[in-house]
Amino acid sequence: MRFHLIAAAALLPLLAVAGLQATAHATDPATPSGLQRGTASGLRRDADAIRALGVTGVQARVTTSTKTLAVTSGVADLGTGRPVPAEGRFRIASTRKAFVATVALQLAGEHRLSLDDSVERWLPGVVRGPGYDGRGITVRQLLQNTSGIPDDLPGYTNPQEYLDQRGDVWTREQLVTRALAHPLTFPPGTGWSYSNTGFILAGMVVERVTGRSLQQEITDRIIRPLGLHQTTFPGVTPTVPRPHAQAYERFSPGNLVDVTDQVPGDPDSIISSTRDLARFFRALAGGDLLAPPELAAMRRTVPINADVELVWPGGQYGLGLARRPLPCGGVYWGHDGGDAGYITVTGVTSDGHRSAIVSMSTALGDSLDHHLQQQRAADTLIQHALCRTT
């Protein structure tokens, strides 16, 4: 369904999808042998473990300052059995929150806004209603999910709802209005709750500060400088650029539905690739996009709530960036996302030297247990990749 926080997963009987028997393949023949020897077999094994849960297609990429390894597992299309493209495009969903936060922090570094500015200063009259006062909610709280602003986002829970709603177009203002019809989750600054609405408002603040569209700011400040040639904004276009794997949702056991074609539920949706996301997160962690004070502010974290703790064990949340513990010691950073069948899980070391990105083209969300199975399998891939030293 739309607006997954992270991955949804399930154990799919493999007899129902015989095409999933494809093995993982190294897909970057130019990869130096040192990284292949040290990582390839483990990366293939972890990608296959995700596929074995019933995920139709998996792309995984590990990148260091000098080396890259990409593997795939499964198939891109259950109907044709074509292979998963190593450079496949996909909707990154909530992973875009790291892009929005980066732009906001750049503006803070330029003294064009303050993280402690109120929402009311930049969006007068927008956050109003019973229990709401934009004067008491800050930009920092929007970016850290501590504003107390809830979500009420459109979505579908079965194949018929998908067919009925896949062409719906929602504006930011409409999504904010839906959310503000509900009471605050908690008084601003007193708790933590994942809020897509907060980031919608943050994007609106960026536009008010700059007088330009959020898409243009992300393009000029991130996409163009980093050469993210596979990163685009679909707008209301329902299709995904080629090459791509088809996206599937599992609404109930044994019920996989192709949900590739639909208007993105997020007006600022981004389509990208594992290559581009690796470049973005390594540049971010390495200090290429933010000056030290702003990067430090982004990494100043708070505890997450119990519901999300189930999904991100040991996790904490900064400004559009999550921190997770590594089993080999230390921490890693990233932001996961899931929407319309595409699930993205990311990780980068604190110094930006090593990143791991996995894209899955199936959201198997028929139970919480299965949701957690897929997330755990993806986390395992990321953590193994970041902990390897070769």
By residue count, the chain amounts to 390
What letter does residue 342 receive in the DSSP assignment? E
Q: CA 138, CA 120: separation in Å to the nearest integer? A: 9
Question: In this structure, how many other beta carbons lie within 10 angstroms of the beta carbon of residue 65?
Answer: 10
Window from 36-40, 176-180, 243-247, 321-325 with minimum mean pLDDT: 36-40
Class in CATH terms, 14-334+341-371: alpha beta
Q: What is the average pLDDT value for the chain, to the nearest integer?
A: 90
In percent, the amount of the chain with pLDDT more than 70 equals 89
Nearest to 91 by CA among 225, 263, 226: 263
pLDDT in tens, 336-352: 999 889 999 999 999 99
Catalytic-labelled residue, pool 33, 65, 73, 94 = 94
| pLDDT value at residue 390 | 55
| pLDDT value at residue 365 | 79
Domain ranges of the chain: 14-334+341-371
In percent, the amount of the chain with pLDDT more than 90 equals 81
pLDDT in tens, 286-340: 999 999 999 999 999 999 999 999 999 999 999 999 999 999 999 999 999 998 8
Q: CA 237, CA 269: separation in Å to the nearest integer? A: 10
Confidence of residue 253 (pLDDT cuts 50, 70, 90): confident
| pLDDT value at residue 266 | 85
Q: CA 365, CA 377: separation in Å to the nearest integer? A: 14
| pLDDT value at residue 38 | 53
The question of whether 33 is a catalytic residue gets the answer: no
Res. 187: pLDDT tops 60: yes
pLDDT in tens, 155-171: 888 999 999 999 999 99
Bridge partners of 250, per DSSP, are 256, 364
* Pairing label, strands 68-74, 355-360: unpaired
pLDDT in tens, 198-217: 999 999 999 999 999 999 99
